[in-house]
């Protein structure tokens, strides 16, 4: 069933090592063989260390809370790093929705133009 929900723009919620609360994350890329995917976290607030860096701050994409049933307020998609997951990692997460095409394109453009991804990562997930 997970494979049917797993697509670019899908939003999941889950717990991750080193994070003391459930995180929402957006699937932004999937390998062709669908054994791994990459994602970005959705944050309620921009962390202080990001606020202190204009470069990191420019990699935060605002999304409007009222557009999505799973959000209660405006939030920020953190495009300053990607998180790689295997399909088995996602078995411990729950599907909560999808982001719309405009927000997804904004996230992808921010990621691709961020210089945080290697050419290999770009080819792996976005080509």
How many other CB atoms sit within 10 Å of the CB of residue 113? Answer: 12
The structure's pTM equals 0.89
CB 38 within 8 A of CB 28: yes
Enumerate domains of the chain plus CATH numbers.
2-126 (2.30.30.110)
pLDDT in tens, 69-110: 999 999 999 999 888 888 888 888 999 999 999 999 999 999
Rounded CA Rg of the chain: 14
pLDDT in tens, 40-69: 899 998 989 889 999 999 999 999 999 999
CB 52 within 8 A of CB 58: no
CB 87 within 8 A of CB 36: yes
| H or E segment and range at residue 64 | none
């Amino acid at each position: 069933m997970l494979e049917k929900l797993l697509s670019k723009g899908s939003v999941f919620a889950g717990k991750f090592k080193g994070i003391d609360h459930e995180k929402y994350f957006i699937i932004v890329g999937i390998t062709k063989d669908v054994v791994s995917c990459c994602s970005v976290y959705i944050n309620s607030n921009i962390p202080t260390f990001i606020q202190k860096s204009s470069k990191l701050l420019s990699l935060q994409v605002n999304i409007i809370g009222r557009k999505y049933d799973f959000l209660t307020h405006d939030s920020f998609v953190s495009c300053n790093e990607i998180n790689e997951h295997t399909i088995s990692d996602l078995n411990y997460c729950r599907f909560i929705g999808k982001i719309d095409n405009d927000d997804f394109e904004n996230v992808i453009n921010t990621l691709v133009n961020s210089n945080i991804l290697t050419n290999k990562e770009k080819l792996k997930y976005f080509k």
